[in-house]
């Protein structure tokens, strides 16, 4: 008789549980998970927050979520951890569809060890990320976590680094979007920081590398959570986030909307939507003919231009509260996604400075990585002068925008609305950095600087020798001369730096035609390991 047939062997029918027993056993385990979910609901709802699974349910198509690794538990024996081994280990992972398109995701469960990351938790996140990379679909993280799990020591740090390495590998291959709905502390904040877009739900979220306790121990000051990394600070000061949702639902809707503009991966194209685009000049187009104020020193809101150029006036702005002198965001033209970069004269007269340069550079690079054409609207008096800007590295940091445009290969259409002065002209999607089609309105002024500054610089000695009345008269004459030569788009158009001077009311249709012409554009860059962008 072979060993397998012995009645003492565990596989012998006498010892084997029936299929019904096994189903009952699964039910028991599922009940344990459901009970934990109920406890989580109570705890989270008391704090005005949703649970990890409720968040996923709101985000994805009904019934599409497939949870994986729900039975994963930590294997830590230190600090009495063996007595507390909840299923899932503080993170819910899996895959689903959003508007019928695949996504992989993870969602922290703060009610399990503060959603902290240990080895098992880290392995789950890595599995979901690897899956997203293998199939080429966006990765979404919903963050509500206290960071590295203290009880698991260096292993927690190791797994954060392992996760970070994969996020970096996935960077530029699949879109990576983070939604913060609670604390996002220490290592947990590394994931949104490394990813492409971060949304923060107002009132309940904050993100930082070190919390108030550690800050107080080291520096003696005791900041509040909001002062350290609340939504307002993260948007307006640090520039860490792209959108603040009024609540979790609003944050989730924004993520869905953002996804609708993005391709699944770097080898695919963004989805194309039906559009009732018309080539007829509309009332809204005609309003652009009177939009530019007659005085150079009067501002206007560039949003009024953007919304008149894009389908249904719909513009998904990113980082609206950070460096508002430069506007970035997604829109569609003839149903195709376009990334918009625009100076906004409402702030700093639209001048470029460190924050706006970095904001725009990052946006341009994202669009370039994911086959999203760029529409650049220019009204820039140049770089913001000042000791503070120079010392904080306007050269090293401002140059990133030039770098981003110059290395991009996606279709690029630029429209000069008014000022295109100095470095601002060169950097904001100029022909010389590789833009494909460059338009200017007749109000465009493409020059090294504005007339007042130019006249003063070129004639300082001559003007200083004159008495006051003569100086005023001569300044007026020289200014008129400069304006006739340079305060227009024709000096640049003569050289082919501007392809066409167009009426503002024609812009929507001309831009659409240019983008349609460029749709199959192919441009390659020399093979290299990677560029050495100044960081
Ligand atoms: C394990 C943790 C934990 C952690 C909190 N908990 N942080 N467990 N590891 N890092 C547990 C608590 O013991 C508690 O368990 C539960 O989570 C909820 O925590 P509370 O403090 O009660 O919640 P709250 O008052 O809302 O405060 C949230 C918090 C605070 C601000 C996030 O918990 C906090 O400051 N935690 C430490 C945050 C931090 O410094 N993380 C950085 C780690 S270093 P019970 O059982 O009572 O519910 C790091 C570097 C990574 O991440 C480097 C990567 C390379």
- Condensed to tens digits (0 to 9), the pLDDT of residues 286-344 reads 999 999 999 988 999 999 999 999 999 999 999 999 999 999 999 999 999 999 999 99
Q: What does the pLDDT look like over 441-473, one tens digit per residue?
A: 999 999 988 888 889 899 999 999 999 999 999
Question: For 145, phi and psi rounded to 5 degrees?
Answer: -145, 145
Pocket lining: 286 vs ligand 1, CB cutoff 6 Å? no
Taking residue 439's Cβ as centre, other Cβ atoms within 10 Å add up to 24
Domain boundaries, the chain: 28-261, 283-448+487-517, 451-486
Query: In angstroms, what is the span from residue 248 Cα to ligand 1's centroid?
Result: 21
User: Residue 148 in 3-state DSSP?
Assistant: strand
Say yes or no: do domains 28-261 and 283-448+487-517 share a fold: yes
- What sections of 148-282 are H helices per DSSP? 154-170, 187-194, 212-219, 225-229, 231-232, 248-261
* pLDDT of 2: 46
CA pair distance 140, 129, nearest whole angstrom: 9
CA pair distance 533, 406, nearest whole angstrom: 11
* pLDDT of 30: 96
- What sections of 373-506 are H helices per DSSP? 387-391, 394-407, 422-427, 451-458, 460-464, 468-486, 490-494
Pocket lining: 207 vs ligand 1, CB cutoff 6 Å? no
Residues of the chain with pLDDT under 70: 1-6
Burial of 247 (0-12, 13-18, 19+ CB in 10 A): middle
* pLDDT of 358: 98
Superfamily of domain 283-448+487-517: 2-enoyl-CoA Hydratase; Chain A, domain 1 (3.90.226.10)
Among 87, 94, 97, 90, CA closest to 111 = 90
Pocket lining: 150 vs ligand 1, CB cutoff 6 Å? yes
Query: In angstroms, what is the span from residue 152 Cα to ligand 1's centroid?
Result: 13
Pocket lining: 211 vs ligand 1, CB cutoff 6 Å? yes
Among 259, 48, 266, 272, CA closest to 140 = 259
| Domain made up of 28-261: CATH architecture | Alpha-Beta Complex (3.90)
Return the residue whose CA atom lies nearest to atom 17 of ligand 1: 114
Ligand 1 atom nearest to CA at 185: 41
ipTM reported for the complex, 2 dp:
0.98
Pocket lining: 429 vs ligand 1, CB cutoff 6 Å? no
Whether 415 and 489 have beta carbons less than 8 Å apart is answered as no
Pocket lining: 191 vs ligand 1, CB cutoff 6 Å? no
* pLDDT of 4: 52
* pLDDT of 40: 97
* DSSP structure class, residue 248: H
Pocket lining: 346 vs ligand 1, CB cutoff 6 Å? no
Whether 300 and 345 have beta carbons less than 8 Å apart is answered as yes
Give the predicted TM-score (pTM) of the model: 0.94
Return the residue whose CA atom lies nearest to atom 10 of ligand 1: 149
Ligand 1 atom nearest to CA at 209: 42
* pLDDT of 6: 65
* pLDDT of 341: 98
């Amino acid at each position: 008789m072979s060993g397998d047939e012995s009645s003492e062997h565990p596989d012998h029918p006498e010892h084997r549980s029936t299929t019904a027993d096994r189903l009952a056993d699964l039910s028991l385990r599922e009940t344990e998970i459901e009970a934990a979910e109920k406890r989580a609901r109570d705890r989270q709802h008391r704090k005005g927050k949703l649970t990890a699974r409720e968040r996923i349910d709101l985000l994805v198509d009904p019934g599409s979520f497939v949870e994986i690794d729900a039975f994963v538990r930590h294997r830590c024996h230190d600090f009495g951890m063996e007595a507390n081994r909840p299923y899932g280990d503080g993170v819910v992972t899996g895959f689903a569809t959003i508007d019928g398109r695949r996504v992989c995701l993870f969602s922290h469960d703060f009610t399990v060890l503060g959603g902290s990351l240990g080895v098992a938790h880290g392995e789950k996140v890595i599995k979901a990320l690897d899956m997203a990379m293998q199939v080429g679909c966006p990765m979404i993280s919903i963050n509500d976590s206290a960071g590295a799990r203290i009880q698991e020591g260096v292993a927690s740090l190791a797994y954060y680094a392992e996760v970070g390495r994969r996020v970096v590998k996935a960077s530029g291959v699949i879109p990576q979007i983070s939604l913060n709905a609670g604390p996002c502390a220490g290592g947990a904040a590394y994931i949104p920081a490394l990813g492409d877009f971060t949304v923060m739900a107002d009132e309940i979220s904050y993100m930082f590398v070190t919390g108030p306790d550690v800050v107080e121990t080291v520096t003696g000051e005791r900041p509040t959570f909001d002062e350290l990394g609340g939504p307002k600070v993260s948007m307006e000061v640090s520039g860490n986030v792209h959108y603040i949702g009024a609540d979790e639902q609003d944050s989730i809707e924004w993520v869905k909307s953002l996804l609708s503009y993005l391709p699944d991966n770097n080898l695919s194209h963004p989805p194309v939507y039906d559009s009732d685009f018309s080539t007829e000049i509309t009332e809204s187009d005609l309003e652009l003919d009177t939009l530019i104020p007659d005085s150079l020193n009067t501002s206007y809101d560039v949003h009024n231009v953007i919304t008149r150029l894009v389908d249904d006036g719909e513009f998904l702005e990113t980082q609206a509260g950070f460096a508002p002198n430069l506007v970035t965001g997604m829109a569609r033209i003839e149903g195709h996604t376009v990334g918009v970069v625009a100076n906004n004269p409402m702030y700093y007269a639209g001048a470029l400075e460190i924050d706006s340069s970095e904001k725009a550079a990052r946006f341009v690079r994202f669009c370039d990585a994911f086959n999203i054409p760029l529409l650049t609207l220019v009204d820039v008096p140049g770089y913001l002068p000042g000791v503070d800007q120079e010392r904080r590295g306007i050269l090293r940091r401002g140059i990133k925008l030039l770098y981003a445009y110059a290395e991009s290969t996606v279709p690029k259409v630029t429209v000069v609305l008014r000022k295109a002065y100095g470095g601002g002209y060169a950097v904001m999607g100029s022909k010389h950095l590789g833009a494909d089609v460059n338009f200017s309105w007749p109000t465009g002024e493409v020059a090294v600087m504005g007339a007042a500054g130019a006249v003063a610089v070129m004639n300082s000695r001559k003007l200083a020798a004159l008495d006051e009345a003569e100086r005023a008269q001569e300044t007026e004459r020289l200014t008129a001369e400069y304006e006739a030569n340079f305060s227009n788009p024709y000096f640049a158009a003569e050289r082919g730096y501007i392809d066409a001077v167009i009426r503002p009311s024609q812009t929507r249709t001309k831009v659409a035609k240019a983008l349609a012409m460029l749709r199959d554009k192919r441009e390659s860059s020399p093979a290299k390991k990677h560029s050495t962008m100044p960081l």
